[in-house]
Amino acid sequence: MDERRLVRISKYLAKHLRHDPGRIGLTLDPAGWADVPALLAAAARHGFPFTRAELEHVVAANDKRRYALDGDRIRAVQGHSIGVDLAHPSATPPEFLYHGTVARFLPAIHREGLRPMNRHAVHLSPDRETARSVGSRRGEPVVLAVRSGRMAAAGHTFQLSPNGVWLTSHVPPEYLA
């Protein structure tokens, strides 16, 4: 499959598995899983047909391992804006995690901390380089260090997505380094 087709299918999956399944009449279960035959049928019905083999290739080749395929079901492993309970295992974070953002958000972030905004959780990266690339989606990136070890010690919980993204519900400003 050429790279452009791969990216198009991946973006189509992101849209409908993370943000707007109703657009193609798809339903997700509470943990974000969709039925694969139903997804293929819904996509075809809405003018964007792709095959099961293409889907499997996109899931396997995805640069960020964004999707999990489990028999006849598929879900995005992070990044949702719709309410989901992904039930990833709770995990003890390292002393620091990182968040990539841009300068224009800093005043609000220092005032209220990191909030999920349109997503179901705050997304944190295990290293500065990954955070930098997340921030660069919006402009010149600024990387914030999060004292995640202290947060965990204070009772904040973290989930680790199978693709290495850390999720938590809120980072209060006192934990930003």
**Residues at the interface with ligand HQG (CB under 6 A):** 64, 66, 79, 101, 105, 108-109, 112, 114-115, 117-119, 123, 134, 138, 165
Minimum gap (Å) between residue 2 Cβ and ligand HQG = 20
Q: Which is nearer to ligand HQG, 20 or 72 (CB)?
A: 20
DSSP states of the chain? --HHHHHHHHHHHHIIIII-GGGGT----TTS-EEHHHHHHHHHHTT----HHHHHHHHHH-TT--EEEETTEEEESS--SS-----PPB-PPPS-EEEEEEGGGHHHHHHH-B--TTSSSEEEBSSHHHHHHHHTTSSSEEEEEE-HHHHHHTT---EE-TTS-EEES-B-GGGB-
* C-beta closer to ligand HQG: residue 9 or 114: 114
Q: How far is the CB of 78 from ligand HQG (least distance, A)?
A: 6
| Cβ 42 to ligand HQG shortest distance, Å | 21
Residue with smaller CB distance to ligand HQG, 26 or 165: 165
Q: Which is nearer to ligand HQG, 96 or 105 (CB)?
A: 105
Could you tell me the smallest distance in angstroms from the CB atom of residue 45 to ligand HQG? 25
Whose Cβ is closer to ligand HQG: residue 72's or residue 129's? 129
